[in-house]
């Protein structure tokens, strides 16, 4: 059983529209989930995850309901999930998950962000081998016995567990599973009513790279530019 002690490296840049961007990303997640399996969260694990993440981000209830209503309509945009791969400065591997209604626009923008920030957009498979797609759950730590929860969830797909921090430095418990066990572990966490903060599929770096602060800043400038793009949902990299 793997032990992880994760610190989510926050970018060094102010994001004035950060909350709006988070809500937009979650609204797209809701739209994709509803289009895939309908608007009833009881029968749609992907929608339950998106709604949990919305609550964790303090997304207003009316915005959540509006997103579900829009996604259920006939004129809702159909988003395609496309993952791009490339290298940031200093050889740092980057995976960019997008949700787009215009692939031509999206790939042009992603390529521009890489070029303008000293990186290179690669081809499919050029960096993916350095990551493993996993289900990642973050829990509030209060009142949780790590050893007991670990033993309890092993049979439901838990592979790694440890301590992490959120973007504001708050303590979290981080649980990971193989992507194939995502739904099974999600169901077990929900059944036990554990204090779930977020549930995501993530590309987890297998060989993290450490850089001096000045070089790390250059990498994070690219990450920040990508994350600000309207079509980008998530950015993953192997910078430690």
- For the chain (240 residues), the mean pLDDT of every run of 10, in chain order, is 51 51 91 92 94 91 92 80 97 97 97 98 97 96 91 96 84 95 95 94 94 94 94 94
pLDDT score, position 138: 95
pLDDT score, position 239: 93
Model-level pTM?
0.88
pLDDT score, position 12: 41
Query: Which tokens is 204 given?
Result: 């987890």
pLDDT score, position 2: 54
Give the integer Cα–Cα distance in Å for 1 and 218.
35
């Amino acid at each position: 059983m793997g032990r992880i002690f994760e610190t989510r490296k926050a970018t060094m840049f102010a994001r004035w529209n950060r909350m709006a961007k988070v809500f937009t990303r979650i609204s797209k997640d809701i739209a994709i989930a509803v289009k895939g399996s309908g608007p009833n969260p009881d029968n749609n694990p992907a929608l339950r995850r998106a709604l949990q993440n919305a609550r964790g981000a303090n997304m207003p209830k009316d915005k959540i309901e509006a997103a579900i209503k829009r996604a259920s309509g006939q004129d809702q945009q159909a988003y395609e999930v496309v993952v791009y791969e490339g290298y940031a400065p200093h050889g740092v591997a980057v995976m960019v998950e997008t949700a787009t209604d215009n692939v031509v626009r999206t790939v042009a923008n992603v390529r521009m962000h890489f070029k303008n920030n000293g990186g290179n957009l690669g081809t499919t498979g050029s960096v993916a081998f350095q990551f493993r797609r996993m289900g990642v759950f973050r829990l509030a730590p209060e009142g949780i016995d790590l050893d007991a929860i670990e033993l309890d969830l092993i049979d439901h797909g838990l592979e790694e567990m440890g301590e992490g921090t959120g973007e504001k430095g708050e303590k979290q418990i981080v649980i990971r599973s193989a992507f194939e066990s995502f739904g099974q572990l999600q169901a077990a966490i929900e059944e036990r009513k554990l204090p779930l903060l977020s549930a995501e599929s993530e590309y987890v770096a297998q060989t993290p790279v450490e850089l001096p602060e000045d070089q790390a800043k250059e990498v994070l400038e690219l990450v920040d530019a990508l994350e600000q793009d309207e079509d980008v949902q998530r950015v993953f990299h192997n910078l430690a």
